[in-house]
Structure 1
Amino acid sequence: MIQKLNNNSHEIAKKIRVVFQASYKIEAKLLGAKDFPPLKRPLKNYMESQNDFYGYLQNHELAAVVEIEHTKTHTRIKSLVVAPYFFRQGMASKLVQFTFNSYNSPLFIVETGAANLPATALYTKFGFVEILQWDTDFGVRKVKFKKTTM
């Protein structure tokens, strides 16, 4: 079940952060990153974020989270994380489809590590096309995808 999360709540933000931390630890290893900024994101940042957070709940447990930034011109999937215990169960796909169904936008954007093959496969499966690659200051090659709907 997917539901909107009140990230301004201290308790909910802590649960969101736990899923982010668990997922990003795996991604950092996958990307070979020793210094991975997403792992340094403080709880306060989640609580003060103006982005929308939606969670996938499995047996009342927060299993996956999508963070969405929506403007008049585009919708950006800022983060999409799944707790490792719930990998390979289709939750990320359901959250991407939920994003498309919930946001009427001419343009969807997402970025990930270029070596994150599960993520790049997920986005291309949904019709995203690669538009840019670059190297970050923290040693990770990133890739940016877009999907136009009009």
Structure 2
Amino acid sequence: MIKELDLNQTSVLKEVFDLQKESYLVEAQIINFYEIPPFKETINELKDSGETFLGYYKGECLAGAISYTLHNQELTICRMVVHPDHFRKGIAQKLLTKVEEHHQDISILHVSTGRDNPPAKNLYLKNGYQWISDQEVVPNFYISHYRKEKHHPE
């Protein structure tokens, strides 16, 4: 089940915070970079992010989450996290699909991920996102930027 998450509820905030730590630890290991901003943020920084969060529940367990912001008819995916126990079960795909279905009026979507994170890059590419550029954010660490344009019938 996918539902919007209220980070003003302490228990939900803690669930997302813990899930994010587990997920980004694996990404940090994959890309050999442990300074990923969400991996290092405090629980209060997460609460004050201003992002909209959707969570994927497997029973009572928060197995995955996605967050995004909206600005001028453009949607930016900020986080995509799945608990390592639930990798390769299609959860990230379901969350991405839900966001796109919920915002069909949006024409442009943006997302970024570590250049050396093949699972994330493959997810976005197979969903119609196009690689825009790689950006060196610190010496020898690159983020890949992707964009998807949806054309709406007139």
Q: Shorter chain as normaliser: what TM range? A: over 0.9
CA distance in 2 between partners of 1:109 and 1:124 (Å)? 12
Equivalent residue runs for 1:86-105 within 5 Å: 86-103=86-103, 104-105=105-106
What CA RMSD, in Å, does the superposition of the two structures yield over aligned residues?
1.2
Post-superposition shift, 1:135? 1.0
CA distance in 2 between partners of 1:49 and 1:32 (Å)? 25
Identity %, equivalent residues:
27
SS in 2 for 1:12: helix
Higher relative contact order (CA 8 A, sep 6+): 1
Q: Could you say which residue in structure 1 is the equivalent of 2:55?
A: 55
Contact between 1:64 and 1:82, CA under 8 Å: does it hold in 2?
yes
Unaligned segments of structure 1, at least 5 residues: none
Post-superposition shift, 1:30? 0.4
1:18 is aligned to 2:18: yes
CA distance in 1 between partners of 2:56 and 2:125 (Å)? 21
SS in 1 for 2:128: coil
User: What's the TM-score, normalizing by structure 1?
Assistant: 0.95
Post-superposition shift, 1:139? 4.3
User: What's the TM-score, normalizing by structure 2?
Assistant: 0.93
Q: Could you say which residue in structure 1 is the equivalent of 2:117?
A: 116
Post-superposition shift, 1:70? 1.1
Q: Could you say which residue in structure 2 is the equivalent of 1:72?
A: 72
Contact between 1:36 and 1:138, CA under 8 Å: does it hold in 2?
no
Q: How many residues align?
A: 150
* Letter of the 1:117 counterpart: P
Q: Could you say which residue in structure 1 is the equivalent of 2:149?
A: 148
Unaligned segments of structure 2, at least 5 residues: none
Post-superposition shift, 1:26? 0.3
Q: Could you say which residue in structure 1 is the equivalent of 2:33?
A: 33
CA distance in 2 between partners of 1:68 and 1:138 (Å)? 27
Structure 1 residues 138 and 45, CA, compared in 2 at 3 Å: closer, same or farther? farther
